[in-house]
Structure 1
């Protein structure tokens, strides 16, 4: 878990607090506590004592659970050649694609137009309307940030987790107004259904939030 520890140690106190809230940590949000809590979420009360795998393994387990396309991620490489952050991006792209697939054409277009306000690359609209979430992830680090923020908003809304709005820096209030509470529940419903165990819910939120941190940009 050294990589997870190093990423979390470099974050702000607010970011660590948000991560603690997302993962349901009851004993604080220090880097050490969050590491132990991830072990608990993955292996359980007794299993965490013996579980000594890496953050990359945690991300891989989440990726397996939600069913990412490993062939598209690996591209002829071996798992050992991948970095954890590459698998994180694949998780974000898969969840975001699931969201897009549940939107009506009108809702999708509204979402794309809102995201374009933060990214003026003309390829963004073509990739999103064409169902190319993974292609967008490969094209733009900020595109990953926007997708991860949107996924985070959908999942927390569906799971009933309330956090300060600052956590959704890449998802403006306009998006929430476009879709509304019913829309968020509908688009996230399939994801929540797939994540049918509380530990997987929380681990997935952790993976998405870590990806958000990695791809964040300075605030305006």
Structure 2
């Protein structure tokens, strides 16, 4: 868990509080507590005592659980050759695709165009409309940030979690206006259906938020 510890260790207190809220950490938001909480979410009350795998393995386990396309992710490489953030981006992309599939073509188009406007890059719209969210994830850290902030907005809205407005880059309010309350439920239906255990839900929340922290300057 050294990589996870390094990221949250360089995060701000507010960012750690956000992560604690997203993952249901009831015992605080120190880096040590959050690391232990991730172990608990992955291995359970007893299993955490013996579980000492890496953050990369946690992300991989969630990726397996939601059914990512490993052949596309590996692209001829071995798992050991992948950076953790590549797998994180793949998870975020898969969650985004699951969300988008729940919407009508018109709603999909509205969200994609809003994301392209915020990115100031029309190519992102073309990639997303073509069903190539993975290409956006691999394109840049900002592409991952766009996907992650959109997914996070859907998750927190549906689960009733409130985070500082800045976390969402302003997108959640605009998309909420486009979809309305019923649309938010539909948007996250694909995630909550696929990840149907509380621990997997919270681990997915952690991966999405860590993807955002990687982009922010304060996270190193």
* TM-score interval (norm. to shorter): over 0.9
Quick check: 1:54 aligned with 2:54? yes
Match of 1:120 in 2: 120
* SS, match of residue 131 in structure 2: coil
Q: CA deviation at 1:172?
A: 4.3
- 5+ residue gaps, structure 2, are none
- 5+ residue gaps, structure 1, are none
**TM-score, with structure 2 as normaliser:** 0.95
Q: Is the 8 A contact 2:20 2:34 kept in 1?
A: yes
Q: Is the 8 A contact 1:142 1:217 kept in 2?
A: no
**Number of residue equivalences:** 218
Q: CA deviation at 1:170?
A: 5.6
* Alpha-carbon distance between aligned partners in 1 of 2:125 and 2:66, rounded to the nearest angstrom: 25
* Alpha-carbon distance between aligned partners in 1 of 2:208 and 2:170, rounded to the nearest angstrom: 13
- Bigger RCO of structures 1 and 2 (CA < 8 A, at least 6 apart): 2
RMSD: 1.4
Match of 1:209 in 2: 209
* Alpha-carbon distance between aligned partners in 2 of 1:164 and 1:172, rounded to the nearest angstrom: 11
Q: Is the 8 A contact 2:24 2:202 kept in 1?
A: yes
Q: Give runs of aligned pairs for residues 62-101 of structure 1, distance below 5 A.
A: 62-101=62-101
* Alpha-carbon distance between aligned partners in 1 of 2:157 and 2:210, rounded to the nearest angstrom: 18
**TM-score, with structure 1 as normaliser:** 0.95
Q: Give runs of aligned pairs for residues 41-190 of structure 1, distance below 5 A.
A: 41-169=41-169, 171-190=171-190
* SS, match of residue 182 in structure 1: helix
Q: Against the structure 1 CA distance between its residues 138 and 167, is the aligned structure 2 distance closer, same or farther, given a 3 Å change threshold?
A: same
* Alpha-carbon distance between aligned partners in 1 of 2:119 and 2:39, rounded to the nearest angstrom: 36
* Alpha-carbon distance between aligned partners in 1 of 2:94 and 2:88, rounded to the nearest angstrom: 10
* SS, match of residue 15 in structure 1: helix
Q: Is the 8 A contact 2:102 2:189 kept in 1?
A: no
Q: CA deviation at 1:162?
A: 2.9
